Structure 1
Amino acid sequence: MTQPLWWDQGAQEGPDAASPASGPSSPPVPHRADVVIVGGGFTGLWTAHYLLLADPSLDVLVLEAEHVGFGASGRNGGWVSALWPVGPEALARRRGRTAAMAMLAELRNTVDEVGRATESAGIGCGFRKGGSLALARSAAQVTRARAEVAHADQWGTGTRWLDAPEASERMAASQVQGATFTPHCARVHPRQLVDGLAVTVRAQGAEVVEGVRVGTIEPGRAKLADGGQVVARHVIRATEAWTPTLPGERRTVAPVYSLMVATEPLPAAQWAAIGLAEREVFSDHRHVIIYGQRTADDRLAFGGRGAPYHYRSRIEPEFDHEATVFADLRATLTDLLPQVEGVRFTHAWGGPLGIARDWHPSVGHDPSTGLGWAGGYVGDGVAATNLAGRTLADLVTGRHTPLTELPWVGHRSRRWEPEPLRWAGINAGLRLAHAADGEEARTGRPARIATLLGALTGH
């Protein structure tokens, strides 16, 4: 099927369940609210949740153009991780080592907070904290992996090296020479999480209105595409990859596609041969990002980058489906785990994620205008959105807390280059990543062209 596996399995049951709303049956949109949140994904719903925990008297309205979880929140790989796309050195350059260490510690705490919050709200989303395994399957990958462990030791992130037998005991993949492992990662079913959050915030008193497109965000109001508006003291942008569709935001983030495939449920004997007994999520140390998980119903869900960036940051339904990328993903997973040779793949899907020019996620709120935002997660947003929601709740309610002092608060990335430079640069970076992996496969040494990739992206 060419829709997300999660959408087949995700809908919460009951009269309060989140479901698409459109057309004449859509509920009316209130004309006023204390806080309007534009976007019904993880960022918007976590923000509503923590705002109402902080102040249940607030009138909170969430507006979603499609249905909750329509974007990356309902399509992602389900990693609740402490990963961050910006290295701690970059954080330390801005705000000092103490602030960088505080950021890393809060990211680790956020993994546990997602588990605590979902349990408290009774959201059944398959949360399982089994850690993250990144395999090293070549000499070049071993070099990078060991450097990552040494770097982690400097910053206390808890990543450690596993030798080949230890790594293979966790996941019996091919060509394993070792792996890095971090305990600070969990697996979830993302659509069940986002639907459960929608049910939760509605029960808290928020209005979540689906099928309503916002055309413009301004101080004091959200102007609807149909000509209406909602007046509010605070307006929060939580639109991630769809941010470039808003006026003035074309170059704020670049929507870059990530695609996934999923197998049929595998029998116990096959899992005994594969491993992942603790439900570790997995990847390897290649340049082109791949990621996978063992789902709650014992499938393999596996994804990666590889789809092109589309000119002028276009987002279209047909971009979710790239047959060549799906074929590459199936082949890559079978190469990684020969045990799945001949297994039926049942789903293939994709969608865009948001990348800021410096790869730096950000969250912020201007008390003089009431405008707030969060996003640019570079695919690491399942946990970071929770941190964003807690942080925005503090910022909107005017509380000074350790969260509001974290170094991503108020960060402003420079804008992406205008077209056609943006199109050429992003797609050149993708080709360079593929070429670097090809060079390493041929030579067995770290790719020299990888330095060009870093120079091109500035990351």
Structure 2
Amino acid sequence: MNSPSFWLDSLGPIERRPPLAGDIEADVAIAGGGYSALWTAYYLATAAPEKRVVILEAEYCGFGASGRNGGWVSGQFPVAEAKLARRFGAAAATAMQHALGETVDEVGRVAAREGIDCDYAKGGTLSLVRNPEQLRRARTDPGFVGAGEAKAICGATDVLGGVYSEHCAVLHPAKLVRGLASVVEGLGVTIHEGTRVEQIKTGQIKTRLGTVTAGTVVRALEGYTSGLAGYRRELAPVYSLMIVTEPLPGEFWERVGLARRETFSDERRMVIYGQRTADDRLAFGGRGAPYHFGSRVRPEYDQVPEVFEALRATLTELFGIDPPIAYRWGGPLGIPRDWMPSVGLRDGLAWAGGYVGDGVAAANLAGRTLADLILKKDTALTTLPWVNHRSRRWEPEPARWVGINVGLKATALLDAWDRRRAA
């Protein structure tokens, strides 16, 4: 594999755009070349084409989570609606959920309008219930369905029910991010790849290759935020890993279903996530890789053999197969201390991120919101509860390393306890 993921590798060789070549000026300068950066640039360029927008990306657009994720365009928010309601009020919590649900369709609309063929399909998502403890927790969810209905969607083993939501679509993430980069470039946005951002401050983004001076500076680095000077404790980079099978035969899909390419997971506490790709593979991922001391992000952390084996074993358990694995990869995602994603603009510095792994849809909503904030528009988006939210910083090391890894271990132990009680 020559690329960081199956998705990127399936596109063939990637040609990098030219790096920054000295000091320049812009109206808006964006650090990062993933979904958040590109959606912000897209909505700015369509609403205010006279604005000079510049994107600076350390590698190439989609190198990070935007080209490695599970391909879920999910209306889920990492903070439960009830918790949002307690903090911000019921109306604000409902508005947040409604905006994310609508965003699932917005991603599909823009992809179709701009001719981005990213294998988008909206079939919803099903979280399988597969032991009595999961059943006890899931019965109270408004989306709960019985065993028969759940099996008709996803014919996994030991299905006792499921939790279904229509607010999810599936796509090929690298096709979206690379296609979106080409679209914004066509709208007049300048993209400099191979240009690592070293410092952000009011009015400036500094790199070794030059400085971009701009009225608004946007930080959109997600899991790579910790590598930026002064932002080490802003977001914790936690790794999620994935595998993808070879294309699976028709008889498998006749048994398993996922006929509308519904995404799937189950009700265990340790996150797993899967999709049926457009070419009939299973793409499957999950958490469980360790957090690395000092919020370090390194290429070798993308490969954790024991986690890959656990993912393969989970597919065997779920579907009764020993699947041929074609690709294995991983990458960091950004987690704020209170698990609350945010988007905002203060004193010329804007930001978006902390999506806790649900960023494909949220980044689009963030891009639309940032465009409104930068253009000083008062809209329904600029009043959502995540706007200008500030999470407290993560603890200094070694407390950060101990706390996050103990949390990961505890989550795995609770799932194991549920399985033992069901045996």
Provide the TM-score with structure 1 as the length reference.
0.90
Is the contact made by 2:116 and 2:180 (CA closer than 8 Å) also made in structure 1?
A: yes
1:43, distance to aligned residue in structure 2 (A): 0.2
Matched, 1:184 2:167: yes
Q: CA distance change for structure 1 residues 11 and 390 in 2, over 3 Å: closer, same or farther?
A: farther
Give 2:149's aligned residue.
Answer: 166
Q: How far apart are the structure 2 equivalents of 1:92 and 1:297? A: 41
Q: Which residue is 1:218 aligned to? A: 201
Deviation of the 1:8 alpha carbon: 1.7
In structure 2, the partner of 1:175 is 158
Show the counterpart of 1:442. 420
Give the distance between the partners of 2:366 and 2:327, measured in 1 at CA. Answer: 31
AA at the equivalent of 2:99: E
* Equivalent runs, 1:146-161 vs 2, <5 Å: 146-149=139-142, 160-161=143-144
**Residue of 393, 396, 410 corresponding to 1:418:** 396
Task: Look up the match of 2:84.
Answer: 91
Computed over aligned residues only, the root mean square deviation of the Cα atoms, in angstroms, reads: 1.4
Structure 1: distance between partners of 2:106 and 2:165: 17
Question: What one-letter code is carried by the residue in structure 1 that aligns with 2:42?
Answer: H
Tell whether the 8 Å contact from 2:244 to 2:326 is kept in structure 1 after alignment: yes
Q: Which of 243, 246, 251 lines up with 1:269 in the alignment? A: 251
Amino acid at match of 2:383: E
Task: State the match for 2:292 in structure 1.
Answer: 310
Contact persistence 1:130–1:280 (CA under 8 A): yes
1:339-382 CA deviation, whole Å, 9 max, x = no partner? x32x311000000000000000000001xx21100000000000
Contact 2:20 2:195 in 1 (8 A): no
CA drift of 1:94 comes to: 3.0
How far is 1:29 from its partner? 5.3
CA distance in 1, matches of 2:62, 2:392: 28
Residue 230 (structure 1) shift = 0.9
Structure 1 unaligned residues grouped into runs of 5+: 13-17, 150-159, 446-459
Instruction: Please report how far the alpha carbon of residue 19 of structure 1 lies from its aligned counterpart in structure 2 after TM superposition.
Output: 3.1
Q: How many residues align?
A: 422
Contact 1:135–1:167 (8 Å) recurs in 2: yes
Matching residue of 1:116? 109
**What amino acid is the match of 1:20?**
R
Distance in 2, Cα, partners of 1:430 & 1:225: 37
- Residues 330-345 of structure 1: pairs in structure 2 closer than 5 A: 330-338=312-320, 340-341=321-322, 343-345=323-325
Percent of paired sites with the same residue: 54
In the alignment, the residues of structure 2 paired with residue 116 and residue 176 of structure 1 have an alpha-carbon distance, to the nearest angstrom, of 34
CA drift at 1:87? 1.2
Aligned equivalent of 2:15, options 9, 13, 19: 19
Name the SS for the 1:148 alignment partner: coil
- The CA deviation string for residues 249-304 of structure 1, in whole angstroms up to 9 with x for no partner, is 11111000000000001122221111101100000000111000000111000000
Distance in 2 separating the partners of 1:225 and 1:298: 44
Cα distance, 1:194 vs. partner? 0.1
Give the aligned partner of residue 348 of structure 1: 328
Post-superposition shift, 1:403?
Answer: 0.3
Q: Does 1:76 align with 2:69?
A: yes
Distance in 1 (alpha carbons) for counterparts of 2:12 and 2:89: 44
Report the counterpart of residue 11 of structure 2 in structure 1. 10
Residue by residue over 1:298-354, the C-alpha shift from the partner in whole angstroms, topping out at 9 and shown as x without a partner, is: 10000000100000000000000000000000000111011x32x311000000000
Choose from 345, 359, 371 the match for 1:365: 345
Do the aligned residues in 2 keep the contact of 1:19 with 1:68 (CA within 8 Å)?
Answer: no
Q: Deviations over 1:5-44 (max 9, x none)?
A: 10122359xxxxx7324xxx64635611110000000000
Q: Structure 1 counterpart of 2:40, which letter? A: T
Unaligned runs of 5+ in 2: none
Instruction: Give, in whole Å, the separation in 1 of the partners of 2:215 and 2:405.
Output: 40
SS of the residue corresponding to residue 257 of structure 1 reads strand
The one-letter code sitting in structure 1 at the alignment partner of 2:155 is A
Q: Distance in 2 between matches of 1:362 and 1:51?
A: 19
The amino acid across from 2:34 in the alignment is G
Cα distance in 2, alignment partners of residues 50 and 19 from structure 1: 25
